Structure 1
Amino acid sequence: MIHYRKILELHAEGISLRGITASTGHSRQKVTEVISLAEKKGLVCPLEEVMTSQWIEEFLFPEKTLESSGRQPLKFDYIHKELAKPNVTLSLLHHEYEVECRTNHKIPYSYRSFVRHYSKYADKYKATLRIRRKPGEIMEVDWAGSTAFIIDRDTGEKVKAYVYVATLPCSQFAYAEATLSMDLHSWITAHNHAYEYFGGVTQIVVPDNLKTGVTKHTSRELVLNPTYKEMADHYGTIVMPARVRTPKDKASVEGAVGVISTWIIAALRNSHCFSLDELNKEVRVKLDEFNQRPFTRKEGCRLSAFEEEEKFALSPLPLTPYKMSEWKTAKVRPDYHISVESMFYSAPYEYINQQVEIKLSDDFVEILFNHMRVASHKRLYGRFGQLSTVRDHMPDNHKLFVDQTSEAAIEWAGAIGPSTLNVIRYILDTYQTEKQALQSIFSLKKSEHRYTKYEIERACKNVFSITKRPTVKSIQTILKNNKKDDAEQEIKRDTETGKDNHAFTRGASYYGGVDK
C-alpha cells in the first residue's frame, strides 16, 4: 500500500523529494505523481482524519478501485467530457464501452453498474452530474412569486418590483433582475440581460405559459408571441414552454425562485432603494453572493461549476443584442400611407386598401405583406401628424409633382435651351411665392409630352420678341400656333411639289402617247 497521506504531509512540511522517497520507500517518480495530482485536484494539508491513504487513493485514482474487479476499467474523465456533447447519452457510451471490452477480451460492467459508478464519480469529483442535464442545453426562466419594492421619493409609497429569474439547470448558475412591470418589454429586456450575464446562449429556453411569451399552448398547437419568437430567432435558440400545470418541466427554476426569494428578495427587505437602478445594484450584489456560496455536499459553488462545467458549451452571443419589436396590423390608406401612433409612413401605392403587418422597434418601422417586407422607415418621434414618404412608393404623376423645386426647374430649363432658362428664371423672380411659380412651371414641363425640346425653346424665344413679361399661358398659345402653322406649311409644301414627289406615277408615254 502506498503511503499517500505520509507523502502529502512530508511535502507540506517542506521535505525534499529525495527525503520523502527515502522515508516512504517509494520511487521518486511515484512521489512526484502523487504530489502533482493532489495539487491539481485541490487536496492540500492539513488533512482531515477521514482522509486515510485508502481514501486519498480513491480520490486521486478512482479507476483503481474498479480494476481489482477484473472488469474493463471505466474512463470517468472521458465519459464526463463526452456527455457534454450534443445528443451523446450514457446508453451510447455504454454501448461503445461494451464494444471496446469485447475487442480487448475484457468483462464489461452492466449498464446499471456503469451508471452507478459514473454517478458516484460525478457526485464526488465534479461540479455537475450530466445524466440529467447537458451543459449549455437549457435556460429556465420565470417570475419570482415574491416581490421587492422601491420607495417613491415624493409620496414615500412603496412601489412593487417584480423579480425575473433565469437558471442554468446543469450548473445551477442563476441570474436575477428587478423590473417595475411583467409586460412583454420587461420580459424581453430581462432575457437580453440574462444572456449578457451568462456570456452565451443555451440551445433551449423553457418559460412558463405566461401570456407575454406564449399566445396558445395545447397538446396539438404551440403559438408563441411574435416578438418572443423573433427574439429566440435572433439568439439562435428555441422556446419550449413547460407543459400546463407541470412544474417538473422546469424544476430547476422553481427551486431557484424559492432560494432567490430567500437570499435576495428577503435579504433586501430592510433596504431602502429610491429607483430601479439602485434596487438592481443591490440585487446584483446579493446575486453574486448567492452564486458564490459553497455547495453543502460537494466542492465548489455555482460560479465555479458554471465556469468549469458549462460556460464552454454555451453558443456565442450575436454581435448586437436583440432590439425590442412590437407587431401591429393596419390598412394602407388611399394616400398610400399607414397610420402608426399618429405618425404616417408610406407603402408602395400598389398595396392601397391592403391589410399589412407592422413591425415597430425603437429605431425603425417595417411594413410587411404576406410576411415579406415591402417598406422600411426610420421611426418618427415628436409632434403628431409627421409623414415619412419614400419617392419610389408614389404613382408616376405624384412623382412629377413632388420633384418640383426651384433647382430642379432651373436644371430642366437649362437642358431645353437658353431662352427657356431665361423664361424660368423670370417666372421664379417675379411670382409672389415660390409655390405659385413652381405650379406654373410644372404646367409648362407637362408640355414635353406633346412638344419637342426644339419647339419649346423656339416658343420661349418667340415670346420674348412679343413681350418683356412672358407667361406660361402665352408660351402655350405660341406652341399651339406654331404647331398649327407648321402643319399648314407642310400641307402646302406637299401640294406644290405633289407631282415630283409621286415617283410611281406613269406618264402618257407609258401608254403610247406624248408627255407634255
Structure 2
Amino acid sequence: MSKEKPILQMLRDGYSQRHIASFLHVSRNTVARVAKAASEHQLPNDVLESMDEVEIRHTLFPEEALIPTLVTPDFPYIHKELLKNGVTLKLLWQEYVDTCRNTGKPPYGYSQYCKLYQDYVTQHKLTMHIQHKPGDKLMVDWAGTALPLYDKTTGNSRKVYLFVATLPFSMYCYAQACGTMKEEDWINAHIAMYEFFGGVTRILTPDNLKVGILSNRKYEDPVVNRSYQELADHYHTALLPARVLAPRDKAAVEGSVGNLTSHIIARLRNRKFFDLHTMNTAIRKELDRFNDTPFQKKDGSRHSVFLEEEATFLQPLPKYPYEFAQWKSATVQLNYHIAIDFQNYSVPYEYVRKKVDVRYTKNSIEVYYKGNRICSHKRLYGRRGQYSTVVEHMPVNHQLYSEWDQKRFLKWADGIGEATHQVIQGIFDSYRIEEQAYKSCLSLLKLADKYSTERLEHACRAALERIPSPRYKNIRLILESLQ
C-alpha cells in the first residue's frame, strides 16, 4: 500500500521524519524521498486532501508514470493449475513470461512471482501446492507405540501394531491394527487402505522396512520385496521409498503417526480388546472422528479437503483387489511334482530336476521357470501328502515310466516276501495315479540294499501288524530301531 499521502499529512502537521518513519513503519529514506519530492512539486493542502494515492504518487514522481506497469499474475489460475501432475511454479512463470512478451508488457521476475503467489496463498488461507499435489503421493508406516490385545482365557496380553497411511495433500489418514509386522499383515493392510481411500495415488512412499524394501542405497535403485512390488504393479502405483535417515521425505505420515498415537491409542488405553475385529472397529470410529476434526489454522477438515480437492485426482481401483502372494524356489522331483506346505503339485515332466519359482496365494499355486508361467493349480488343504496332478504333465516316453510300472514293483516285492508285497500294494492303492507311488516304492524296496531282504520283510510284517497303511517312513524307523 502506498504511504505518500499519510507521510505528507504528518509532514504538514510538523512531525519529524524519524517519528513519521517509526509511526508508519517505513524507512527514513522513504520519508526523506517523499519530503524532497514535495518540496519540488508544491501541493496545496486543500488539493492534497482531495487527491487519491495514485494521483499524489504521479504528481510527486512523474518519471515513474513513464515506466510500464508490471503484469499482475492470475493467482486463482496458478493455484488451480498447480493441482495438476507435473505442473510447477517454474513452468507457470515461464508461460506467464511468454504471455507478457506477446502483449508487449513487462513480467515479474521468478523470485518476485513466487513471493506474490505465497502472499496470495497466505492472504486467502489456502494450502500451498508446491510440495504435494492431490492424488500424487501416499505415505505409509508403522506407529511406534503398540496396542495390547488380551486373551479371554488367561488374561495375558500380546502386542499388536498400528499401520498408518496419510495422503500428504489433504492429510487424510487411515489406520488399522495388525497382529504382526510381517509381510502378510503389511500387504493386507495396504489392500484395506486402498479400499478405504477408494482410489490409488501415483506414488507410494514407505519407510525402509524389510517387509517392503530389502535395500535402499544412496546411489542405487531400491531393491523391493517381490510381493510388495507385485502389489504396486497391481494397483499401478510407483514405489518410491523414503531415503534412509531422512524423516522429511515422509514428514506427513510421521506427523500423522504422532497425532494418531495421541488421538487413537491414548483414547483406547483404558479399554480391553480380545480380538482384532473389535479393536479395528473402535479404531475406525476414532479415525473418522480424527479425520473430521476441523483444522485450527484453515477452513475444513482432513475429510472435507479430501472429498472436495483430492478424491477426484486418485486413480481408480483395479477391478479386483490384490491377493497376497508368497514366493519360494523349488526343485522338480523325479515324479515331476513339487512340494508346498507338505502338499504336492505336478509340473510338466520336461522340468524334472530343474529349479522353478513358485508363487502361492490362499487359493492358487503358480509355477514359473525363467520368468514364464508353466502351470497352475488350485491350492490343497487338509491332510498332508495330497497330490494335485494334471494328466497332461505326465510324460509319454519318459525313462522312468519305460523302466518301471506297478507290475515290476510288485514282482520285485514278491522276491522279498509276502509282507513286502502287501505294503507295496497298499502304497499303490493309496494314490489316484500309479506314477505317484513310484518314488515311495523305490525308496522302500532299496532299503533291502542297506538292511538285507530278510530284515526288510520282517519290518514290513511288523508294520502291518501295528499300522493299517504303512509307508516308507514307518518301515525305515522300524529298521533303524532294530539295529
What whole-Å deviation, never above 9, does each CA across 1:469-488 have from its counterpart, x for those lacking one? xxxxxxxxxxxxxxxxxxxx
Alignment match, 2:177: 178
Q: Which deviates more, 117-126 or 276-285?
A: 117-126
Alignment match, 1:231: 231
RMSD over aligned CA atoms reads 2.1
Distance, in Å, in 2 between the alignment partners of 1:122 and 1:374 is 58
What are the residue-to-residue correspondences of 1:284-299 with 2, within 5 Å? Answer: 284-299=284-299
Give the drift of 1:221: 4.1
Distance, in Å, in 1 between the alignment partners of 2:278 and 2:331 is 44
Alignment match, 1:112: 111
Distance, in Å, in 2 between the alignment partners of 1:388 and 1:225 is 29
On the 8 A contact 1:129/1:170 being kept in 2, the answer is: no
On the 8 A contact 1:334/1:352 being kept in 2, the answer is: yes
Larger CA Rg, structure 1 vs 2: 1
Give the drift of 1:397: 4.9
Alignment match, 2:187: 188
Alignment match, 1:89: 88
Give the drift of 1:107: 2.9
1:126/1:392 CA distance change after superposition, 3 Å: farther
Percent identical residues:
46
Q: Which deviates more, 381-390 or 117-126?
A: 117-126
Alignment match, 2:304: 304
SS state of the match for residue 119, structure 1?
helix
Give the drift of 1:123: 4.1
What whole-Å deviation, never above 9, does each CA across 1:256-293 have from its counterpart, x for those lacking one? 11111111111111122221111111111111111111
1:126/1:382 CA distance change after superposition, 3 Å: farther
Alignment match, 2:464: none
On the 8 A contact 1:128/1:171 being kept in 2, the answer is: no
Distance, in Å, in 1 between the alignment partners of 2:388 and 2:127 is 55
SS state of the match for residue 272, structure 1?
coil
- Asked if 1:130 is matched to 2:129, the reply is yes
1:336/1:126 CA distance change after superposition, 3 Å: farther
Alignment match, 1:269: 269
1:127/1:347 CA distance change after superposition, 3 Å: farther
What whole-Å deviation, never above 9, does each CA across 1:117-148 have from its counterpart, x for those lacking one? 32233345465321111111111110000112
On the 8 A contact 1:343/1:385 being kept in 2, the answer is: yes
On the 8 A contact 1:124/1:298 being kept in 2, the answer is: no
Amino acid at match of 1:88: V
SS state of the match for residue 177, structure 1?
strand
- Asked if 1:373 is matched to 2:377, the reply is no
Give the drift of 1:155: 1.2
Distance, in Å, in 2 between the alignment partners of 1:283 and 1:371 is 42
What are the residue-to-residue correspondences of 1:220-369 with 2, within 5 Å? Answer: 220-369=220-369
SS state of the match for residue 202, structure 1?
coil
Distance, in Å, in 2 between the alignment partners of 1:100 and 1:221 is 40
What whole-Å deviation, never above 9, does each CA across 1:398-453 have from its counterpart, x for those lacking one? 8999xxxxxxxxxxxxxxxxxxxxxxxxxxxxxxxxx9xxxxxxxxxxxxxxxxxx
What are the residue-to-residue correspondences of 1:319-468 with 2, within 5 Å? Answer: 319-397=319-397
Amino acid at match of 1:225: N
On the 8 A contact 1:127/1:309 being kept in 2, the answer is: no
Give the drift of 1:396: 1.4
SS state of the match for residue 146, structure 1?
coil
On the 8 A contact 1:206/1:241 being kept in 2, the answer is: yes
Distance, in Å, in 1 between the alignment partners of 2:287 and 2:116 is 34
Aligned residues: 335
1:277/1:347 CA distance change after superposition, 3 Å: same
Distance, in Å, in 2 between the alignment partners of 1:192 and 1:173 is 17
Amino acid at match of 2:102: T
On the 8 A contact 1:91/1:111 being kept in 2, the answer is: yes
SS state of the match for residue 267, structure 1?
coil
Amino acid at match of 1:107: P
Give the drift of 1:305: 1.2
What whole-Å deviation, never above 9, does each CA across 1:156-214 have from its counterpart, x for those lacking one? 12221200000111111111111111000110011111111111101111111111111
1:215/1:209 CA distance change after superposition, 3 Å: same
Give the drift of 1:218: 1.3
- Asked if 1:151 is matched to 2:150, the reply is yes
What whole-Å deviation, never above 9, does each CA across 1:78-108 have from its counterpart, x for those lacking one? 2122112221110000110111122223332
What whole-Å deviation, never above 9, does each CA across 1:233-273 have from its counterpart, x for those lacking one? 00001111111111111111111111111111111111222
Alignment match, 2:164: 165
Question: What are structure 1's unaligned runs of at least 5 residues?
Answer: 1-68, 402-434, 436-516
On the 8 A contact 1:358/1:368 being kept in 2, the answer is: yes
Give the drift of 1:152: 1.4
1:124/1:388 CA distance change after superposition, 3 Å: farther
Distance, in Å, in 2 between the alignment partners of 1:141 and 1:267 is 22
TM-score (norm 1): 0.62
Give the drift of 1:340: 0.7
On the 8 A contact 1:138/1:205 being kept in 2, the answer is: yes
Amino acid at match of 2:241: P
Amino acid at match of 1:91: K
Distance, in Å, in 1 between the alignment partners of 2:336 and 2:237 is 37
SS state of the match for residue 384, structure 2?
coil
Alignment match, 1:213: 212
Distance, in Å, in 2 between the alignment partners of 1:190 and 1:121 is 40
What whole-Å deviation, never above 9, does each CA across 1:305-331 have from its counterpart, x for those lacking one? 111221111111001110000000000
Alignment match, 1:71: 70
SS state of the match for residue 113, structure 2?
helix
Give the drift of 1:110: 2.3
Amino acid at match of 1:275: D
SS state of the match for residue 358, structure 1?
strand
Alignment match, 1:12: none
1:295/1:123 CA distance change after superposition, 3 Å: farther
On the 8 A contact 1:128/1:305 being kept in 2, the answer is: no
SS state of the match for residue 356, structure 2?
strand
TM-score (norm 2): 0.67
Alignment match, 1:201: 200
SS state of the match for residue 135, structure 2?
coil
Distance, in Å, in 1 between the alignment partners of 2:323 and 2:235 is 11
On the 8 A contact 1:128/1:309 being kept in 2, the answer is: no
Distance, in Å, in 2 between the alignment partners of 1:226 and 1:348 is 25
Q: Which deviates more, 249-258 or 216-225?
A: 216-225
1:379/1:186 CA distance change after superposition, 3 Å: same
Amino acid at match of 2:82: L
On the 8 A contact 1:123/1:298 being kept in 2, the answer is: no
